[in-house]
Amino acid sequence: MKKFKGFIVLILLAVVGCSAATPQANLEPEKEVKKEVNEKIAFWDQQRKGTNFMNSKSIPENYDAAKENNIEFIRLAPDKWAKDSDFLFNDQPDANPDKDFLIGNADKYEGLVEDDFTALKADLDAAEARGSKVVLTVLSLPGDRWRQFNDYTNDDRIWKDFSYHEQAATFWKDLAERLKDHPAVVGYNLINEPHPEQATGFNDFWTEDYNEWYSSVENTPADLNLLYETIVTAIRTVDTETPIIVNSGLYATPWAFKYLKPIDDANVLYAFHMYEPYELTSQNKKKGLTYEYPGTVKVGEEKTEKAFNKKALKDFLEPIAQWAEKNNIPANRIVAEEFGTNRLVKGADQYLADLISIFADYGWHWAFYAFREDTWDGMDYELGTEPPTWEYWEAIEKGEQPDRKTVDNPIWNVLTKGLGVEKLQ
């Protein structure tokens, strides 16, 4: 019996001891492990709607106007800031600038041009001050000068010489190191509308032989996937978080997704442009306005007649959806970063409405081309469906903002509806 009582005492002491230890343990709770959120990639987790700034100079007040129209991100191409008034208003200007913006000289990259970077930084600071997010793209890379600054001919050196791949990677590494902490920047778009296909004699948007073509250039300088791999690797040595956006080939056509390789990086998005059928969307007063939407258009080198309506547009975009499904790429990593048509084309409003509807169905991000461009009025949609007045061009030439208010503007109505402007009122 004494032994049994002793056993009970031991148990009670153990229980009391445990109870006494409990408050002490509560005094030093385990520290919570906080996982830092990459806010820049998180920006893209829900569908975003934006536009393109493709002006001949930095126009900070356009960020204010974009914000008023519920535009969530701006795709900015500062290369065009190298243009001058002769380029803008002369049909046959001297297309070669004194230097290539930021890269100094596309013939050989030797470091960022400091004055150009200062101008870019000021523009990005203006965007941040106004609450705008920016995707930064470039029109030129070393060995790949933008054709409008290259006597209107393609500069294909980057697709023939690996040394330009390395120079392009060094350029982007230098730029990323400077901009990685800038709060306005939510994407590096490595090159606008790459077209290695044309450098090797392949240029028909309407053929289905993209994979066959790619097999002939894989692992050569004309391999777009290799260029991207080289640049992405370089950027990630200095900036692991800022999203990187890559275009498909042949001017970012949807069909070139067929040979695009997914990049092993969680912070990469994939982008395309949509102006097809180009024979329709590029019409203007000089070319004539033969086609309308919906309607039949002759396309491709064979001038094949095709009927275009919403279904046909969706069919043209189908390679993107197939590629994304095959490679397990979510919808919020796909960007329709340029789309549009000349506003004088009959049915332009319906064309834009159908595309926006398709993008909504897929859940892709989108950015229309363009917002208040000062070099071309064809897609300045706030002007409506009429040619601009002489007052418009006078204001542009003076560097002033022209009057863009129109009484009845079905095109702008489509875009503002897509942007959700009516929800803000």
CATH assignment at residue 370: 3.20.20.80
Average pLDDT over all residues of the chain: 89
Give Cα separations from 142 to 146, 172, 310 (angstroms).
10, 11, 39
Find the length of the chain.
425
Q: What is the pLDDT of residue 293?
A: 98
Q: Spell out the alpha helix ranges (H) of 98-220.
A: 114-129, 162-179, 196-199, 210-217
Contact predicate 289/344, CB 8 Å: yes
Q: Give dist(CA 332, CA 131) in Å, integer.
A: 22
- φ, ψ of residue 242 in degrees (nearest 5): -60, 130
How many Å apart are CA 383 and CA 411, to the nearest integer? 9
Cα(138)–Cα(191) distance, rounded to whole angstroms?
5
- Residue closest to 374 by CA, chosen among 59, 124, 71: 59
Determine contact, residues 88/375, Cβ cutoff 8 Å. Answer: yes
List of residues 6+ apart from 373 with CB closer than 8 A:
54, 55, 379, 380
Token pair for 262:
């997914």
Among 30-39, 91-100, 364-373, the range with the most confident prediction by mean pLDDT is 364-373
- What is the distance in angstroms between the CA of the first residue and the CA of the last residue of the chain? 86
Does residue 104 sit within a domain? yes
**Residue 23 covered by a domain:** no
Residue 178 lies in a domain: yes
pLDDT tens by residue, 145-182? 999 999 999 999 999 999 999 999 999 999 999 999 99
Tell whether the model's pLDDT for residue 33 goes beyond 80: no
Q: Is residue 19 part of a domain?
A: no
Is 11 inside a domain boundary? no
Integer Cα distance of 62 and 58 in angstroms: 9
User: Are 252 and 190 a contacting pair, CB within 8 Å?
Assistant: no
Note down the domain range covering 256: 40-424
- Using pLDDT thresholds of 50, 70 and 90, give the confidence band for residue 375: confident
Element housing 297 (H / E): strand 295-299
Q: How confident is the model at residue 302 (pLDDT cuts 50, 70, 90)?
A: confident
Q: What is the β-pairing status of strands 304-308 and 295-299?
A: antiparallel
Output 41 or 37, whichever has higher pLDDT. Answer: 41
Q: For residue 51, tell me if it sits in a domain.
A: yes
Structural domains in the chain (count): 1
Give residue 213's Cα distance to chain centre: 25
Residues forming beta bridges with residue 272, ordered by sequence position: 336
Answer yes or no: are the C-beta atoms of 158 and 117 closer than 8 Å: no
pLDDT digits (tens, 9 = 90+) for 60-113: 999 999 999 999 999 999 999 986 534 444 444 444 556 899 999 999 999 999
**Cα 191 to Cα 178: distance, rounded to the nearest angstrom:** 18
| Predicted local confidence at residue 408, as pLDDT | 77
| Span of 186-190, 212-216, 233-237, 398-402 with lowest mean pLDDT | 398-402
- List the structure tokens of 189: 């778009």
Residues 6+ apart with CB under 8 A from 264: none
Domain assignment present for 331: yes
